[in-house]
Structure 1
Amino acid sequence: MSSPSVPGAGSVKSPLLHFNNVGYNNNLNAENSQPCGVASRLKSALLSLVGSNSNVLVISGDCERSAHESTESTRSDSLFSTSLQVCIAITLSGFGNVGAGLILDVVQHWSVFKTINELIILVPSLLGLKGNLEMTMAARLSTQANLGNMKDFKSTLYLAKGNMALIQCQATVVAFLATIFAIATNSISKGSIDMQNILILLASSLLTANVACFLLGACMVTIIVLSNRFEIDPDNVATPLAASIGDVTTLALLASFAQIIQNHAPPGTTSIPSCIIILILFALLPFWIYTAWKNEHTINVITSGWLPIILAMLISSMGGFILNDATSRFERLAMFQPVINGVGGNLVAVQASRLSTYLHRQGKPGHLPLSFGCLISPCRAFIGSNINVSTARVLLLMSIPAHILYLVVFRLIKGVGGFEMTTFFMTFYLIFAVLQVSMLLYFAHNLVILLWRNGTDPDNFSIPILTALGDFLGTAFLLVVFILLSTVSDINAM
C-alpha cells in the first residue's frame, strides 16, 4: 500500500495516523485484506465505534465510490491495528502499575517511611518522572522514528545520546527541586527541620532519579528501535511500556536506596554516604548539560524546555500531599494509587503522542491543519469520524476492562483480608476512574492543539503536564472514593 510522503523525510509509512488523504492509490483487494475468525469479529466491534460517516474527498462517478470504500478500509485497518497494539501495551503496563501498588502497600510500613514523612510525598513526583522525562523522550523518539530519522545505526545513536544526556540532566534538577519543595512545605507544617533526614531524602531522591532514568531511557531506545524494525507504530507502545517499567523500577529503587542509606547513618550524625552521593551526581550535571546542548535534537529542550517539567513536578507534588493525608486515613488506598494514576497517564500519553506525530506529518509548529479546531467541546473530543477522535473513544472504553482486570489481580494476590471487591467499591472506583481518563483525553486534545498553534512542539510540553495532571486527579479522585466508601461503611475503607 502506498503511503503519503513527508516533506524532508522521504517516503514514510503512515498507516496509523492519516485519514481523509489515504487510500486513493490503493490497489489492495479489500476482500483479501480482511482478517477472518476472531480477528474479524474484533475488527467489526471496533468499527462500530467509528460510525458510518467518513471525511473523504468528493470524487465523481465510480471514482467517488472506490475512494470512499478504499478510505473506509484503510481507516478501519488503522483503528483495528492501533487498538490491538495499544491494548497489548496498556495491559502489560497495567501489570507494572499493579506491581508498583503492591510495593507501595508494603514499603509504606518500612521504618524509613515512618521516620521521614517527606518520602511518601515524593512518591508521586518521582513516579511522575516517567511522564516528565521517559515518556516525553519516548514521544520525541517515536516522532523521529515515524519521520524516518532512525533508519540507520549512526542517526539512532546520535538521537539516543542527546536524549539520554537530556533526561539525566532533567532528572537531577527535577528530583532536587521536588525534594526541596517537599522538605519546605512539610517543615512549615511540622515547624522543625532534621538535617540528617534532609540529606537522606535528597541523596535517595537524586540517586533514584538518575539510576531509573538511565535504565528506562535505555529500554525506551531499544523498544522504539525494535518497534520501528517490526513495523509497529512506536507511538502506540513506547509510552505505555515506559510507564509500566518506570513505576515499579522507580518505587523499588526509592524505597531500597532510602532504607540502605538510613541504615548507614547512625542517629545524631551527619550522613556521609548521603553527602558523597549528592556531590557525585551534581558533579556529573555539567557533562549532561554539555552533551545535550551539543545535540541539535535536544538543544532547544535543554535551553527552553524546563517550564513543563517543573510545572508537572509541582502538580505531582500536590498529589503527593493528598497521598500523604490519604494514606494516614485509609491504609488500603496506597495500593490503588499507582494503578489509577498509571492507567490514566498511559492512555493520555498514547493520545498526546499520536496527535503530536500526526501534526508533525502535516507541517511545522504554528501551522494548524484545517481539520483541527481549537478549544473543542467535550462532545467533539469523543464524537466524530476522524481517526484521532475514534482513537480517543477506544482509549476511553479500554480503561474500563483494564481497571476491572487489575482489581481482580489485586483480589487474587491480596486475598480476603487485603481487599474486597464490593459493589460500592467497584461502582465508585470505576466511575471516578473513567471520569479521570475522559478529562485527561479531553485536555490532551486541546493542549496539544494550543501548543502546536503557538509554535511549540507538543512532544516536549504536553505529556509532562498531562501525566502530572493525571497523578493529581487520580490521587484526589481515589481519596473521594474512599471517603464515599467510609460513609457507607464499606469494608475496604475500614
Structure 2
Amino acid sequence: MVFTNLELELRYVGQKLQGFTCKLTRSTSCYLPESSARITAQVLLPYLLAGFGMVAAGMLMDTVKHWDMFKETSEVFILVPALVGLKGNLEMTLASRLSTAANIGLLDIPGQLPLIVSSNLALIQVQATAVGFLASLVAVMLGALSKGKVDLQQVAVLLASGVTTAFTAALILGLVMVGVIIGSRKVGINPDNVATPIAASLGDLITLSLLAGFGSLFHQFKELWYVSTVTCAIFLLLIPLCLVFTRRNPPVREVLRSGWQPVIAAMLISSAGGLILDQTVSDPQFEGMAVFTPIINGIGGNLVGIQASRISTYLHCISAPKILPPSMKARCPHPGMIFCSSGVNATSARVLLLLVIPGHILFLYTVYLLQGGHAAMTPAFICCYLLAAMLQVLILLYVADVLVRLMWRCGLDPDTFSIPYLTALGDLLGTSLLALTFIVI
C-alpha cells in the first residue's frame, strides 16, 4: 500500500511538472488560499448576475405555462428540471474541469488549449444530445403513468423539443464558458469563483427560452409528425461526428467512457423534481410555483457548484488521486468541521452560506417589482421561503464536502462526477421544500 501511494504521488507530481504548476519558486503547493473578502469580491457579482438570470427564467416560466404547448403537453414540466439540470450536469462540470485545468497550468502548455477546448465541447454535445433524448423519454413515460394514455403526436413534439434544446443550449453555454475561463485567467481572477455562477446565470434562461421556442414551433406542426421525428434523428446522427473530436484527448476520452453514470443519475433525480413541478404548477394552491422554482433551484445549484469546484481544485493542487490531505481524512465529517473550522474550504462555505439570505431577499424583491408571484408574496411565505432556501444550501454544502472526499478517495475526478449529483439534488430539494412551503402557508 505504501508503494502504491508513493507511485500515485510521483505520477501526480509528474503531471504538475508538465503543466508548469509545481515549480520550485512556488514551494510544495500550487494552491494559494483566499481570504473571505477576496472570495466574496470575486463571487458576489457573478452570483447576483446568476440570481437575476434565474428571476428572468422564473418570470419566463410563469408566462409560458399558459401557452398552448405547455397546456396540452404538460409532460414538458417534467422535462424542464432535467433539461435545465443539464446546465449543472454539463456546463458547470465543463466549467469546473476547465477551471482546474487553468489553475494547475494545463492551459498554459503550448498547443494544448485548442485540443482541450475542442474535445471538451464535443464531449458535452454528445452527452447533451443523448441525455436530452433520454430525459424526453422519461418525461413521456412519467406523463403516461400519471395520465394513463400516450399521444404519439405529443411524444414526437416532446422528443424533438428536448433533443434540439439540449444540443443548442449546450453549444451556446459551452462556448460562453470557454470564453469566461480563458478571460478570467488572463485578468487574474480565479475561474472557480466566476465560471459556474455565469453558467448558472445564463443556463436557466437560455434553456427555458429555447425549450419554449422549439416546443411551440414543433407544436404548430404536430400534425406533421415526421418533421419532429426527422429533426430528432438529425441531431442524434451528429453524435458520431462529435465522438471523433472527443476521442482525440485521452483524459476527455476517459470522461466519455466513465462519465455517463452521474449525468444519467442526475437526470433521473431532476425528473423526480419535475414530476413534483408538473403536479403543482397548475394548481391554484401553488400559485407562484413556476416563478420561484428556477430561483431556489438555481441559487442552490450555483452555490454548491462553486464549492465543489473549489474543493476539487484544492485537491488537484495539493494531493494525488486516492490520497486525501490530513485535514480531510474524516470520511463523514462533523458539520462544524465544514462550516466552522479555519480551513480554506470552510472559509468559502461560510462565505457562500452568508450570501443565501441577502441574495434571496434581493431576488424576491425583484420578483415583487416585476409583479410576479404576488399571490404568494406574504410575510409568512417569505419567512418560510428563506428558511427553505437556507436549509437547502446547508444540506448541499455539507453533501458537497462529503461527496468530493468520497470520490477523491475512490480515484474519481470530482470535477466530472460530483457536480451532476449535487445540482440534481439541489433541484429535488429546492422543488420539494418550495412545495412544502406552499403547503404550510
**Any conservation in 1 of the 2:30–2:318 contact (CA below 8 Å)?**
no
Find the aligned partners of 1:22 and 1:319 in 2 and give their Cα distance: 40
Equivalents in 1 of 2:106, 2:324: separation in Å? 23
Q: 1:258 aligns with which of 215, 221, 228?
A: 215
* Among candidates 340, 346, 354, match of residue 310 of structure 2: 354
Checking the alignment, whether the CA contact within 8 Å between 2:22 and 2:30 is kept in structure 1 is no
Is residue 296 of structure 1 aligned with residue 250 of structure 2? yes
Larger Rg: 1
- Describe how 1:94-133 pairs up with structure 2 within 5 A: 94-133=51-90
> What is the correspondence of 1:80-229 to structure 2 with a 5 Å cutoff?
80-151=37-108, 154-229=111-186
Distance 1:418 1:371 in 2: 47
The superposition leaves residues 246-296 of structure 1 with CA deviations (integer Å, 9 ceiling, x where unpaired) of 100000000110101111233xxx423202211211111111123212212
Output the CA distance in 2 between the equivalents of 1:451 and 1:104.
Answer: 35
How far did residue 87 of structure 1 move? Answer: 1.2
Task: Note closer, same or farther for the CA distance 1:395–1:324 as it changes in structure 2 (3 Å cut).
Answer: same
The aligned residue for residue 468 of structure 1 is 424
Same amino acid, percent of matched pairs: 46
Greater relative contact order (Cα < 8 A, sep 6+)? 2
**Residues 437-452 of structure 1 aligned to structure 2 (within 5 Å):** 437-452=393-408
Counterpart in the other structure of 2:231: 277
For 1:369, give the aligned amino acid.
P
- Who is 1:400 aligned against? 357
Deviation digits for residues 124-167 of structure 1, max 9, x if unmatched? Answer: 00000001100000000000000111126732211110011000
Contact 1:341–1:471 (Cα < 8 Å) also in 2: yes
- Give the AA of the match of 2:96: A
Contact 1:227–1:233 (Cα < 8 Å) also in 2: yes
| Residue 290 (structure 2) aligned to one of 316, 329, 334 | 334
Distance in 1 between the 2:28 and 2:429 partners? Answer: 35
3-state SS of 2:370 partner: helix
Q: Is 2:194 the partner of 1:240?
A: no
The partner residue of 2:324 within 331, 356, 368 is: 368
**Aligned partners of 2:101 and 2:107 also within 8 Å:** yes
What CA distance in whole angstroms lies between the structure 2 residues aligned with 1:204 and 1:19? 52
How far is 1:297 from its partner? Answer: 2.8
Deviations 1:325-384 (A, max 9, x none): 121321311100000001000000000000000000023211111111221122221111
Alignment of 1:9 onto 2:19: yes
* Structure 1 residue runs of 4 or more that deviate by more than 6 Å after TM superposition: 18-23
Distance 1:280 1:383 in 2: 52
- Assess if the C-alpha contact under 8 Å between 1:410 and 1:419 holds in 2: no
Which residue identity is paired with 2:242?
W
Aligned-partner SS, 1:367: coil
Query: Are the counterparts in 1 of residues 21 and 30 from structure 2 also a CA contact under 8 Å?
Result: no
User: Which piece of structure 1 moves more, 209-218 or 280-289?
Assistant: 280-289
Whether the 8 Å contact between 2:303 and 2:352 is mirrored in structure 1 is yes
Deviates more, 1:437-446 or 1:362-371: 362-371
Q: Is the 8 A contact 2:157 2:228 kept in 1?
A: yes
Shift in Å, 1:480: 0.5
Q: How far, CA to CA, are the matches of 2:127 and 2:255 in structure 1? A: 10
Structure 1 window deviating more from structure 2 (77-86 vs 423-432): it is: 77-86
Tell me which residue corresponds to 2:267. Answer: 313
Q: Distance in 2 between matches of 1:159 and 1:399?
A: 34
Q: 1:386-425 to 2 correspondence within 5 Å? A: 386-414=343-371, 418-419=374-375, 421-425=377-381
Quote the Cα distance in structure 1 between the aligned partners of 2:60 and 2:91: 21
Deviation string 1:11-35 (CA, Å, 9 cap, x unpaired) is 479xxxx999799xxxxxxxxxxxx
Distance 1:424 1:6 in 2: 53
Output the TM-score relative to the length of structure 2.
0.92
**Residues in 1 aligned to 2:431 and 2:421: alpha-carbon distance in whole angstroms:** 15
For 2:100 and 2:22, the matched residues in 1 are separated by: 12
Q: Is the 8 A contact 1:344 1:440 kept in 2?
A: yes
SS at structure 2 position matched to 1:328 = coil
**What stretches of structure 2 of length at least 5 have no aligned partner?**
1-12
TM-score, structure 1 normalization: 0.82
Q: How many residues align?
A: 423
In the alignment, what sits opposite 1:30?
Answer: none
SS of the counterpart of 1:384?
A: coil
Describe the SS at the equivalent of 1:262: helix
Q: Specify the SS of the correspondent of 2:239.
A: helix
Structure 2 Cα separation of the partners of residues 22 and 167 of structure 1: 28
**RMSD over aligned Cα, in angstroms?**
2.1
CA separation in 2, counterparts of 1:364 and 1:295? 21
SS at match of 2:250: coil
Q: Does the aligned pair in 2 maintain the 1:337–1:474 contact within 8 Å?
A: yes
Contact 1:79-1:387 within 8 A present in 2 as well: no
Verify: 1:428 aligned to 2:438, yes or no: no
Distance 1:21 1:163, change over 3 A: closer
Q: Which position in structure 2 is the counterpart of 1:325?
A: 279
In 1, are the aligned partners of 2:22 and 2:29 still within 8 Å (CA)?
Answer: no
